[in-house]
Amino acid sequence: MKKSKLIVTGFMLILILFSFVGCGKKEAKIRGGSGFPVSKTSKAQEKESKELGEVYVFTGFDEEKKMMLFLRVGGSYRQYAYFYNGGTKVIDRFDEAQTLEEMEPGDVYTLNLDENTATVKSMHQSKQAWVYNDVTKYQVDTEKNLISVGSRNFYLGENIPVFDEDEQYMRNQIGEHDVLTLIGYDKDIISVQITTQHGKIAFTNTDKFKDGYFVLGNIAAGKITADKKMKVRAGTFLLKVAADGQGGSKNITIKPGKTKYVDLSKFESATAKQGKLTFDVEQDDVKVYINGKLIDTEKTQTLDYGVYRITAKKDGYDNWSRLLLVNSKKATINIDMKDAEDEEEKSDNNSTTTKENSTNTAGSMTGTMNGTKNRTENNTQNTTDTTKDEKEDEEDSSSKNSTDSSTNSLINEVMNILTGNGD
């Protein structure tokens, strides 16, 4: 089958529905179909892999099953899970003993395994991998697969994992003002750790936004929920909200250690706000549907602010379906039903896990998530919110679980689309 590609220009965003999980101590989980997109390993990558040796990026624990989770460095960054126990020894890059609590997602290790039981006997932070801490002056170029640090360029492939504490992201979710730790070998990045401080965001006066969604810069997105504090990176971001003819955009600042309360009544309107949607379809005979209704792509579509499902179909191609967040006056959507030869070649090199309980088996586990390219262009009010509605967070163990909601590891494909810097 062929694969379709949807490119968005204008002011609207396309999302996949996903939810937030309650906070508290989070555990990484292996889930079917949640691996990185598989890309072919170049000769240069193969050579590098041989020189670096067999190394793994630590991604977290499945404490229930007593397993450590890893991504094997190189190529598709295949996911692995191995058992650990009280006898598992962890050594840092300075040959000092390291506790399990001191391990950070994104750290790079060599493993000594008991092959019979799939158990980690010992692990050592790779001495061949270099580590650059507190990197603030950089530029990410996803088109060229590069990150520039000062005058130096490093290869930053589409599969390179990015971590913000326990959450795993992709490279286009690195914020412009984030503080980074880069781990690499020679001129290639192996993993990225975001060390930016955090604050929280919460919404008030949500009555007219009960079925609405928000997007915060390129770092977070989800369903608007009343009385929930969501942990996000500190910084200034463009916030976009939309629901049932209501919505808009504005810049807000998240301060470290504080909660930013956003009053959604300021986005309300006496009459339903509407956006105009136009289509630019590359191929002939492509059928486009909004909420299941066939539309004429030659005509401008007027939609109330809110969330809609948009689907494109063409004989000989896979269907393409996403959710459209309409929150501004106009947008142009370019639909290109892409030949999927490359995707088919990728799938030949990739095994897909479909059951969540497949973590009972140790070893290699991977899945596929095929992202789509897009471009977004924003033309929204850029007035910074200056209201004094931040409050210092005073957390203790008794209140944390009931009042917080962490921004769960965002589905990679969602954030590819949200940032406008998709691969």
Q: Are 38 and 348 in contact (CB under 8 A)?
A: no
Say which DSSP state 284 is in.
S
Query: Looking at residue 220, what is its pLDDT?
Result: 87
pLDDT at 52: 60
Q: Is the dihedral of CA 390, 394, 398, 400 positive or negative?
A: positive
User: What is the sign of the dihedral through the CA atoms of 30, 36, 37 and 43?
Assistant: negative
Residues present in the chain in total: 423
Q: Name residues whose C-beta falls within 8 Å of residue 143's C-beta, 6 or more positions apart in sequence.
A: none
CA 4 – CA 343 distance, rounded (Å): 11
**Distance between CA atoms of residues 321 and 377, nearest Å:** 21
Which CATH class, in words, describes the domain spanning 54-125? mainly beta
Beta bridge partners of 168: 163
* Bridge partner residues of 260 (DSSP): 201, 390
Sequence-distant (6+) residues with CB within 8 A of 326 are 12, 242, 247, 275, 277, 303, 304, 305, 306, 307, 308
236 vs 263: CA distance, rounded Å: 17
Report H helices in 320-408: 341-348, 397-403
**Quick one: which of 104, 178, 190, 105 has its CA closest to 140?**
178
Percentage helix, strand, coil for the chain under 3-state DSSP, each rounded to 5: 10, 45, 45
**What is the reported pLDDT for 99?**
94
Quick one: pLDDT at residue 182?
97
> Which residues make up the CATH 2.40.50.320 domain(s) of the chain?
54-125
Output the tens digit of pLDDT for each of the chain's 423 residues. 554 444 444 444 444 333 333 333 333 332 222 222 333 344 444 554 455 678 999 999 999 999 999 999 987 789 999 999 999 999 999 999 999 999 999 999 999 999 999 999 999 999 999 999 999 999 999 999 999 998 999 999 998 999 999 899 989 889 888 999 999 999 999 999 999 999 999 999 999 888 788 989 888 888 898 878 999 999 999 999 988 888 888 999 999 999 999 999 998 888 888 889 888 888 889 999 999 999 999 999 999 888 888 888 998 888 877 777 787 788 888 788 773 233 344 444 333 222 233 333 344 332 222 222 232 333 333 333 333 444 444 443 333 333 333 333 333 334 443 433 333
**The residue type at 322:** R
Spatial distance between the Cα atoms of 84 and 65, rounded to a whole number of angstroms: 9
Q: How far apart are CA 380 and CA 176, in angstroms?
A: 19
Quick one: tokens of 65?
């099953």
Cα-based angle 374, 238, 401 (whole degrees, multiple of 5):
105
CA distance 224 to 226: 7
**396/329 Cα distance (integer angstroms):** 44
- Between the CA of residue 123 and those of 54, 103, 139, what are the distances in Å? 12, 11, 33
Closest CA to 37 of 165, 167, 170, 145: 170
Q: Report d(CA 260, CA 90) in Å as an integer.
A: 39
In this prediction, residue 1 carries a pLDDT of: 54
Cα R_g (the chain), whole angstroms:
22
Residues forming a β-bridge with 162? 169, 192
Tokens 């003002």, located at residue: 177
